[in-house]
Amino acid sequence: MNRKKKRCCRFLENEIVYKPVGISMKEIDLNNIEADEFEAIRICDYEGKSQIEASELMGISRGTIQRLLNSGRKKIVDSFLNEKAIVIKNKH
């Protein structure tokens, strides 16, 4: 069984959805960004902290931070290029 190590993330009150204008949610593909991906992007890209600092804040390895950044950023760019909605999921 593959279990994720507990990660320190901000609590999101609700799911957050961003979508292109003019396309209904029924007609659009979704890219789900997990809370840990969002948190890694927030810490590194928005706050300007290093991957090492982010790993310490989130309680996970630097390698895991790098994987979260790569997967989260790829989903965001895919959404922009292919007119998909971005759904930021609550942490469980």
Residue 57 confidence (pLDDT): 94
The pair phi, psi for residue 11, each rounded to 5°, is -85, 130
CA angle 33, 91, 72 (to 5 degrees): 20
Model confidence over 13-33: pLDDT tens digits?
A: 677 888 999 999 899 999 999
The pLDDT score that the predictor gives to residue 12 is: 56
- Spans of all domains in the chain: 29-88
End-to-end CA distance of the chain: 18
Domain 29-88 fold is Arc Repressor Mutant, subunit A (1.10.10)
Question: Which tens digits make up the pLDDT trace of 66-86?
Answer: 999 999 999 999 999 999 999
Which residues on neighbouring strands pair with residue 17, listed in sequence order? 87
